[in-house]
């Protein structure tokens, strides 16, 4: 009788321990689930940007932006879904025109600015690169929010985090060229050409490297 009670107690402890371990694993599993969704969106975005001709990406980016927005709503305190929402919306803005483009640009800006509040490094500088490009390219004045001073601050912030990045050096070089600062533009275009592509962004970084080569030739 004592042995049976001991066995039952051991089974109870085993079941209780198993349940507690299972429950403890749930948050980790949930974390992996949203990270996997971010990875899927990133890969889909990269295929759209590098394999689809400009002008034919709009519907794919619209759908992807909706997925990113839903993921942000499910995980409002995580920075990475907001970074990718911002990157995708910024790409979507380039495929649209008029007020639609401005609406996507504002959504991208808001997502990225909130992301850097949550993560000051902005996903290894990616948030700052996209913010710099947005502030550079969006009209200013009463219509939009474009501002060259803010754009440069964003690019400088990205450079302080990832100084040899292909993306930040290319977009900063393009900005400097537009500002008439040709010597600085050449230097950053050269850095973009010589930079190392990120393993998880290889296709898009290599595409930017080619754009940097073309920019360097024009300069």
Q: What is the pLDDT of residues 111-154, one digit of tens each?
A: 999 999 999 998 999 999 999 999 999 998 878 899 999 999 99
Q: What angle do CA 92, 96, 100 make, to 5 degrees?
A: 95
Cα–Cα dist 141/180, whole Å = 21
Tokens representing 115 are 């992301």
Q: In this predicted structure, which of 2-6, 113-117, 177-181, 215-219 has the lowest mean pLDDT?
A: 2-6
One domain for residues 182 and 155: no
Half-sphere exposure of 201 (CA within 13 A, CB side): 20
Q: Which domain holds residue 118?
A: 31-162
Q: Which of 53, 43, 68 is closest to 203 using CA atoms?
A: 43
Q: What is the CATH number of the domain that holds 87?
A: 1.25.40.10
Residue 8 pLDDT: 40
Specify the number of domains making up the chain.
2
- Report the chain's terminal Cα–Cα distance, integer Å: 91
One domain for residues 86 and 150: yes
One domain for residues 69 and 115: yes
Q: What is the pLDDT of residues 43-88, one digit of tens each?
A: 999 999 889 888 889 999 999 999 999 999 999 999 999 999 999 9
Cα–Cα dist 62/78, whole Å = 22
Residue 142 pLDDT: 75
- Tell me whether residue 137 is in a domain: yes
Residue 52 pLDDT: 87
CB 45 within 8 A of CB 91: yes
Per the document, the length of the chain is 219
- Tell me whether residue 21 is in a domain: no
- Tell me whether residue 4 is in a domain: no
- Tell me whether residue 8 is in a domain: no
- Tell me whether residue 95 is in a domain: yes
Burial degree of 184 (CB within 10 A; 0-12, 13-18, 19+) = middle
One domain for residues 151 and 215: no
Tokens representing 211 are 């754009």
Residue 173 pLDDT: 98
Residue 31 pLDDT: 54
Q: Among 162, 180, 201, give the residue marking a domain's end.
A: 162
Cα–Cα dist 32/29, whole Å = 5
pTM above 0.85, yes or no: no
What sign results for the dihedral spanned by CA atoms 133, 200, 195, 161? positive
Q: What is the pLDDT of residues 2-53, one digit of tens each?
A: 333 333 433 343 333 343 344 444 454 555 788 899 999 999 999 998 898 8
């Amino acid at each position: 009788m004592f042995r049976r009670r001991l066995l039952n107690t051991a089974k109870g402890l085993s079941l209780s321990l198993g349940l507690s371990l299972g429950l403890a694993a749930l948050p980790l599993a949930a974390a992996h689930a949203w990270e996997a969704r971010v990875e899927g969106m990133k890969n889909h975005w990269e295929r759209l940007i590098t394999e689809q001709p400009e002008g034919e990406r709009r519907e794919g980016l619209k759908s992807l932006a909706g997925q990113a927005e839903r993921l942000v709503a499910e995980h409002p305190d995580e920075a990475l879904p907001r970074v990718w929402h911002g990157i995708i919306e910024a790409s979507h803005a380039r495929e649209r025109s008029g007020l639609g483009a401005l609406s996507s640009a504002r959504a991208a800006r808001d997502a990225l600015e909130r992301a850097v509040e949550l993560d000051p490094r902005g996903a290894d500088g990616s948030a700052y690169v996209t913010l710099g490009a947005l502030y550079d390219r969006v009209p200013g004045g009463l219509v939009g929010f474009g501002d060259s001073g803010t754009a440069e601050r964003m690019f400088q912030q990205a450079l302080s985090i990832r100084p040899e990045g292909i993306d930040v050096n290319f977009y900063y070089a393009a900005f400097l060229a537009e500002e008439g600062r040709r010597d600085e533009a050449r230097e950053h275009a050269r850095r973009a050409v010589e930079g190392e592509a990120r393993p998880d962004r290889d296709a898009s970084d290599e595409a930017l490297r080619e754009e940097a080569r073309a920019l360097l030739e024009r300069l």
